[in-house]
Amino acid sequence: MDPDAFSWLLGDPGQALLRDATRLFAEDRDPDLIRIAEALRRDADPVHVSTAMTQVRLRDQAKPKFGAQAAVMYFTPDGLEQATGARVAAHRAARVAAAAPDSVLDLGCGIGGDLVAFARAGLTTAGVDREETRVAVASANLAALGLGGAAQVADGTSIDLSPFGVVFADPDRRGPRGRVFDAHSYAPPWPFVAQLLERASCVKVAPGIPHDLLPADVEAEWVSDGGQVKEAVLWSSALALTGRRATVIGPTGLATLTDEDLPDVPPVRDVGRFLYEPDGAVIRAGLVTAVASLVGGGLVDRHIAYVTADRPTSTPFARGYEVLDRLPFHEKPLRAALHARDIGRLTIKKRGVDVVPDQLRKRLALRGDEEATVVLTRVLGRGTALLVRPL
């Protein structure tokens, strides 16, 4: 995004152009961005039109992450992609606010998604970022939402952090070739993160971070929203409440599970009438046996993240299925069993077995009228196929 064009967009003429672009976009059931831009260029500079149309497009794309407030916020394409969703950011901000710090600093604030959440939680908020445009967008978002706080251009690794009660960091996990998975390739790198965790701080990291990399005294929290694991957050000892936590955000609210919920002896047993697929945050946090305890059941295999029980239990931490039948595990008899049931539309879920669902579905060549779900996994060490029905 051109910084000068974005600055112009925030003024009165730019806001008028943005309103016109938004109106034309909303009036068209199937918006043609090229046609809308051409109409706007009759009375406006092409660069300004491009900037306004970029915001209209990004605001539309931002709705799943930011809800209704996306309509007045500002974005950059990479900033939107990397920003924390509003519900996840609000949960983190509420945890920080519960510690009652006098202020919070966001290192690498990006477009300000977390700044907005911290400010909404009533915290005195400041953010820094090395990129001028991101800082301008973050500042504009605070202003657009009527929130306090400030953002400025700075390198977070070289400023004095001592005046701030809590420091939040979201290290950049993208390199020249795309997403990076090695924590030592973060920017700032892992040694800086580890040092930051020695003071009151929380750090957003990739969900796949190895457990053996985590400092002994931090709380590692994995967060899912709408069934998808969004992030892991490391809470320094000053803010930690437990060792490992899985937080699940759903349509009716938030639920959390910790290592304090783990049973003393993880039960392992044969499949009962019901099968449970733990949420990804639960799996990442290593709390699958806690779900087994909650539903009064056990693991189907010591190394497989499926839980079974004899009675149905509603839990936010897992999706439940009724086990209808056991089917042959090998492909040829499995195909015959599915054909005999007139199955044509098949959902294949698998865990712990070497199967590519799309390839298997194609080879099965089902042509029936019925729909079914099959789980392919290991039960007590043996390959097993289960015909199930979602609860």
Measure the CA–CA gap between 77 and 57, rounded to whole angstroms: 10
CA 119 – CA 364 distance, rounded (Å): 54
In whole angstroms, give the CA distance from residue 368 to residue 347: 14
CB atoms closer than 10 angstroms to residue 296: 12
How far apart, in whole angstroms, are the C-alpha atoms of residue 18 and residue 250? 34
Residue 181: per-residue pLDDT: 66
Tell the residue number behind the tokens 């290593």, with chain if given.
Answer: 286
**Dist CA 107 CA 128 (whole Å):** 5
Q: How confident is the model at residue 220 (pLDDT cuts 50, 70, 90)?
A: very high
**Average pLDDT of the segment spanning 45-53:** 91
Higher-scoring residue by pLDDT: 102, 171: 102
DSSP 187: B
CA distances in angstroms from 50 to 18, 22, 46, 182, 258, listed in the order given = 10, 13, 6, 37, 48
The pair of three-digit structure tokens given for residue 121, joined into one six-digit string: 């939680």
pTM, to two decimals: 0.91
Residue with tokens 């079914």: 372
Split at pLDDT 50, 70, 90, the class of 37 is confident
Average confidence (pLDDT) over 171-195: 76
Among 166, 63, 60, 150, which residue's Cα sits nearest to residue 112? 150
Q: For the chain, what percent of residues have pLDDT higher than 90? A: 82
Length of the chain, in residues: 391
Contact 266, 243 (CB under 8 A): no
- pLDDT tens per residue, range 280-310: 999 999 999 999 999 999 999 999 999 999 9
In this predicted structure, the answer to whether residue 180 has a pLDDT above a threshold of 70 is: no
Distance from C-alpha of 233 to C-alpha of 323, rounded to nearest angstrom: 35
Q: pLDDT for 68-100, tens place per residue?
A: 999 999 999 999 998 999 999 999 999 999 999
Nearest to 71 by CA among 53, 55, 87, 51: 55
Q: Hey, how many other C-beta atoms are within 10 angstroms of the C-beta on 365?
A: 9
